[in-house]
Structures are given as C-alpha cells and as structure tokens.
Structure 1
Amino acid sequence: MIRRNFLKVAGALTLGMALSGQASAETVLRVGSWLPPTHPQNAVVWPTWSKWVEEATEGRVKVKVEYGLGHPKTMFDLVEDGAIDASFSYHGYVPGRFKLTQGIEQPLLGVNAEAASVAHWRVHNKYFAKAEEHDGVELLALFTHGPGQIHMAEPIKSLADLKSKKIRLGGGVQGELGKRMGVTAVGAPAPKVYEMMQQGVIDGVFIPMSEQKSLRLKEVAKNVVHLPGGMYLGSFAMFINPDFLDGLSQKDRDAVMAVSGEKLSAMAGKAWDQGDREGVEAAKADGVNIIEVGADDSFAKEFRELVEGMDEEWIESVKSRKVDAKAALAEMREIARNYGK
C-alpha cells in the first residue's frame, strides 16, 4: 500500500514537471454550460468573455466551453469542487440557498436585462455580498434574462384562465407568481420545456421571449401573452473556482477579474435582450399568436393586482440575512430605471 501510494505521488510529480512548461505558457479555463450551443449565453456571452480573457492575459489563459455536464443546479457544486473551472446557473434552481437574488426578480421593475443586470451587480456588492450566499465560488457576474412572459399551447383570455393549468416554473419569484395564479407548478430545467410541451406534460411556461427561438418554443407554444415589462426577471450568476484563480499569476488573476464584474454583467444582459428581440421575430415569422398587452389593458391591470404585497413579503423573507433589503430594493430600482440616461 505504501509503495503504491509512493509511486502514485511520484508519478504525479513527474507528470507535473513534464507539463509545467506547457502550463505556464497556456492555462485552459474549462467552462461548463447546460444550454444549447445556439443559445445567446453560449453563442455570444461566453465567446465574448473568452476573447476578453485571452486578450487581457495576452494569450496565457484560454477558455473552453463544455456541454452536457448535468442539471444546471449542480453547476455551483461542480465549480466549487473543481470538476470544472467556471459556469453559470439560475438562482431559482437552488431554493433556500439564494434568497437575496430574488430582489432583482420582483415584478414591475419595467426595464430590460442589461439595465437590471448592472443594478443587480452593484447592489449585490453594496448590500448582499456580506451575506455570503455564493460562498464557495467567486462571482464573475450577475445578470438577468429579459422579462418573463406567458407561453401557452392554447390561448387564454385572462390570468384567471391559468388556474389549475400545468405550468413549468423555474423557481425564484416564479414560484410565488404561480401560487397566486393557482397554477399546477411543474419543475424542470429550461432545456426540457420543448419536450414537455410537445408531449402535453405541461400546458405552458413562464419564460422570456428569447426561448421562442433558442429552445424552439415557437413550434409548441403557439400563444404568448406579452405583458409590458413582463412578469418578472430571472436572476443568474456566472462564477469561477477560487482555487483556479489562485493558481494563476497575480497579473492574470487581475486581468480575468478586470473583464468580469459589471462589464460582464452588462454584456450578458445585453446579449439576452438581443435574444428576446430575435425570439419575437422568430415567433412572428412562425405564426405564433402574440397578444401585445397595453399598460391599461385588462391583463395588465389583473397582473398589477395579483402582485400587490410581493415586495413586502420578499423583504420579510430575507430578514435572517441581516441586510437592509428595503433600501437595497429601492436602490436597485433606481439604478435600473436610470441606466443609460
């Protein structure tokens, strides 16, 4: 046993010495992704950040995206354990751990993903970081998808029609919305929605317009209620293994982080906004029935009444985090609504 362990250690040291010259010249940063390669996160966000990283480190760090590594909720653990170096995930897939992130998801914010993502990043660092909800990983960015809308197999005439309908909900604020609407909630990662709609397992889904194209929902969810500002925004994080960062030179670590943070958050939000626009175009081209709801239409009025009190409920729910959630929410909205002005 002793000899076997000795040989194992000796072999590892020899291999490490043999590869040290190559490793010092180029470090591969392995990113795990769970959405299809055509999705904006993989077609735009990761490639853009990869280029930034490579340029900032003068080619010493290169990014490689890998697929099919499991459920998106496992990405936090995979990165923390070092199975992959970096990834992203939706906070709503890990209920209980992430509560403060639901601040940016609250209804009636009325902005796009880019504005919300910048507000998300700034307020997290000012108010929420000390609560250590992301303990075990290092944050690269925080962003949101665009406004979540109602996608159905069959048309509805009011929100009341959703009662008892089987709706796929992704977690986070969606869960509270579904509860208030009386839907039958069905949990599943976003890439499974097409199959579930196609097989009739669910009647609809709350999700942004980008997925009409990227997840091909235009083929199975032929009816969309497009509320002004949507119903909610979905909170995401991009994150990296701290040990991987520590393994870089200080110069390269600083370079990677310099092209992350607010810059990356804004770029990710902007890419998902563009995905929404492309999703709308693809849906219209495929004959999807999109009900464009005006601010004073019955759907909008019904929704405003439905979400009354949600701010206060969220603030109460995060008391144990010991942050000023009320001030954070107000500042988040101020930043988002004034972004770009």
Structure 2
Amino acid sequence: MNWGKSHFNVHRNMAIALIIGTLILFFAPSAMAKKITLRYASYNPPRGMGAQTAIWMMDEITKRSKEDVNFQQYFGGTLIKARETLRGIQRGTADMGYLFVPYFPKELQTWTVAEPFVQGPVSPARRGSFFWELYDNSPEMEKQLKQWNQKVVAIRVFGMHSVGGSKPIKSLIDLKNQRVRCAGGYDALHMGDFGAKIVFLKGSEVYSAMQKGAVDANYTPLTSYYKYRLYEIGKNPHLLLIPQFVGSIGLVTINLDTWNNLSADLKKIISEVGREYSRIQDEKIRELEKEYIENMKTNGCNIFQVSKEEIKNWAEVTQGPSKIKWITSAREQGVSGAEQLLERTENLIRKYTE
C-alpha cells in the first residue's frame, strides 16, 4: 500500500516537473523576444541640442519599457547620411531616425505646409503643440509618411532665428542690399522679400566667407549662430534677434515594419515619450538661448530685437507669395486637398499665436 502510494507520488511529481519544464520552455523565448534593440540614426553630431534631446528620448523609452527596448545610437551620419535618412529608414537600414524636413521638400510636401509663414507662435512649446494638433487633424501628413514606410514619433521645432554680421543691423530694413547667407527654401524667399541679396553656402563655409567680406550677414537659428562663433567676426559685430514663427521642422520617425511588430504597450510608451519630447526641447532651447545671448554680449556683440510690428509688416510682404509658391508646388506633387491643408494650417497658427 505504501509502495503504491509512493509510486503514485513519484509519477505525480514527474508529471508536475514535466509541465513546469514545458511551460518554461514555452514562455522563455517569449520573454527573450521582448528585448528589442532599435538602431537610431541621425546626421547631427553626438553633442549639441539635437543629440541631447534625442538621447533623452531614447533613455526615457528604455527606462519606461523596463529595458525591453534599447537603442544602438548612430550620430554624425555614421549609419545614414543627412539626405539619405528618408530612404534609409524606409528600407530599414535604421529602425528610427531623424529627418530634417526641408531636405525633402517634394517627398514630404505636406510637412512643409507651415514654412510660408513668419507670423505665428514663437515659443518652441507653443509651436510644438501647434504642429501636433495640425498632424492630428491632417491625415494627409500621416499618409505621406506612410508612403515612405514610416510613422512620426516626435516633432522637433527650432528656437529663435537671428541675422547678424559685422555691419550694423538694428532692424529688418537694414538688410536691404546686404548679402545674406541662408539655408535656402522659404528662408531665402522671406529674406529676399525684404531686399536682401541671398547667398547660398554650407554652414561650415560661412565663417570664412564673413571674415573675407564675401557675405555681410548670416540668417540662422540663434543657437547655430553662436555655435559657429559668428558673433566674434569684425570689430563691431551686430546680431538681430527675430521672434518670428519658424515653420521648418525635423521629425523623428520609425520604420513602419518595426512599429507594427511592437506590442501595444511599447507603442504606447514610444508615443507618449515622443509627445513629451517637445516639452524637453522647449526647456533646453530657452536655457541655451539665454546663456548664448549673455555670452555674446559679454564678447562685445551688439544685440537688438525685431518688434512684433515689424514682424507683422514682414508677414504682409512675404506670406502671400510664399503661400502661392507652396500651393503651386503641392499641386505639382499631386497633394490632394492642398488648399484645405493650407487653410487648416493658417487657422491653427492664429489659434496658437501668443
């Protein structure tokens, strides 16, 4: 009797052990599969605000996912070059990455819809909120990214723009007939409408050109003006701060195939962090701009700021032709509902203007 009971217990224990072993084998691969490594690519250098905010985003995703998502970081164009990022993420060379929208004016036409405007929300936080609401109400924008096998994760806005050089510049009117370097696109159109003679140069070539007098001034974000140390050129450097609306943006996108393979929980985490990215940007931009302005003043740079009235006058001159240019280009690219998208953009700009 005892032998039979003992024999039964042995078989029962073996059965339990077998079941537990089977469960371990079944669930172990699933647990291991939760650990995901995503490749993030950006042409931005590993230092600087662009990298800092991107690293914050990746670290936050890793933390909130309890390290189920980790990142391999490729900055400085080491994985994909700047103008190849759209196709690189599309193909899956990178799972996630940073796109500067003005590099892809035709491919991402709908995402350039705010570029014709110079009057609107100025603070990075309000512009971030504006762009997210525009995106949430514009299926055309999501559709266009989807054509490139991508989904937006975060929207990067830029800080205050400025124009400066060795000649006195106290207002936008002073730019008339000056040789002003800018990146191109609508920036060139806006500056040209104020009578500036536009010069196109790479950012790395500007310092030398301004030193030699080939360029009188450079129109760029304040943070870039400081980074390239342009404020130290000449005996009487001037910098004009322009509290304008800046419609150029960058996007952090994720490959759609990668996205579709993520769990619902991970998608939620990535989406939430992407939305918070704008707040982190705002804090960082304001902090750096304040520091940079003080440093430039200390170094003898004469700094002035454009008034709201002057921005309004500028808008009256340049926004009309710029909107016509955008509509014409959108039609040529076959963008459906381009007029409605532009109208929606203009209405939201008014809503968010301080």
The TM tier, using the shorter chain, reads 0.7 to 0.9
1:196: Cα distance to partner? Answer: 5.3
Which of residues 98, 101, 104 in structure 1 aligns to 2:108? 98
Are 2:310 and 1:294 equivalent residues in the alignment? no
Structure 2: which 5+ runs fail to align? 1-28
1:193: Cα distance to partner? Answer: 4.6
Spell out the pairing of 1:153-172 with structure 2 (5 A cutoff).
153-156=166-169, 159=172, 161-163=174-176, 165-172=178-185
Which of residues 319, 341, 344 in structure 2 aligns to 1:325? 341
**Counterparts of 1:161 and 1:175 in 2: how far apart (Å)?**
16
Structure 1: which 5+ runs fail to align? 1-19
Counterpart AA for 2:347: E
1:49: Cα distance to partner? Answer: 0.8
**Bigger radius of gyration:** 2
Are 2:318 and 1:307 equivalent residues in the alignment? yes
1:27: Cα distance to partner? Answer: 2.5
CA spacing shift, 1:87–1:332, aligned 2, 3 Å: same
Which of 279-288 and 211-220 deviates more? 211-220
- Name the structure 1 match of 2:56: 48
Are 2:246 and 1:251 equivalent residues in the alignment? no
3-state SS of 1:142 partner? strand
**Counterparts of 2:269 and 2:105 in 1: how far apart (Å)?**
33
Q: Is the 8 A contact 1:121 1:141 kept in 2?
A: no
Counterpart AA for 1:132: Q
Counterpart AA for 1:246: N
**Counterparts of 1:60 and 1:182 in 2: how far apart (Å)?**
53
Spell out the pairing of 1:60-139 with structure 2 (5 A cutoff).
60-69=68-77, 71-105=81-115, 106-127=117-138, 128-129=140-141, 132=144, 135-136=147-148, 137-139=150-152
- Name the structure 1 match of 2:5: none
1:52: Cα distance to partner? Answer: 1.8
**Counterparts of 2:92 and 2:208 in 1: how far apart (Å)?**
32
Counterpart AA for 2:131: H
Counterpart AA for 1:52: E
- Name the structure 1 match of 2:20: none
**Counterparts of 2:86 and 2:213 in 1: how far apart (Å)?**
31
- Name the structure 2 match of 1:58: 66
**Counterparts of 1:164 and 1:251 in 2: how far apart (Å)?**
56
Q: Would you say how many aligned residue pairs link Structure 1 and Structure 2?
A: 313
Q: Is the 8 A contact 2:158 2:246 kept in 1?
A: no
3-state SS of 2:307 partner? coil
Q: Is the 8 A contact 2:182 2:198 kept in 1?
A: no
**Counterparts of 1:157 and 1:56 in 2: how far apart (Å)?**
48
1:213: Cα distance to partner? Answer: 3.5
**Aligned alpha-carbon RMSD (Å):** 3.2
Q: Is the 8 A contact 1:121 1:265 kept in 2?
A: no
Counterpart AA for 1:245: W
Counterpart AA for 1:111: V
Spell out the pairing of 1:143-182 with structure 2 (5 A cutoff).
143-156=156-169, 159=172, 161-163=174-176, 165-180=178-193, 181-182=195-196
**Counterparts of 1:22 and 1:200 in 2: how far apart (Å)?**
63
3-state SS of 1:132 partner? helix
| Superimposed CA distance per residue, residues 278-303 of structure 1 (whole angstroms, 9 cap, x where no aligned partner) | 3323322322221223345xx65763
**Counterparts of 1:269 and 1:251 in 2: how far apart (Å)?**
27
**Counterparts of 1:240 and 1:220 in 2: how far apart (Å)?**
41
**Counterparts of 1:245 and 1:199 in 2: how far apart (Å)?**
50
**Counterparts of 1:334 and 1:303 in 2: how far apart (Å)?**
16
CA spacing shift, 1:132–1:155, aligned 2, 3 Å: same
TM-score, normalised on structure 2? Answer: 0.75
Q: Is the 8 A contact 1:212 1:282 kept in 2?
A: no
Taking only the aligned residue pairs, the percentage that are identical comes to: 17
**Counterparts of 1:134 and 1:149 in 2: how far apart (Å)?**
35
Q: Is the 8 A contact 2:41 2:96 kept in 1?
A: yes
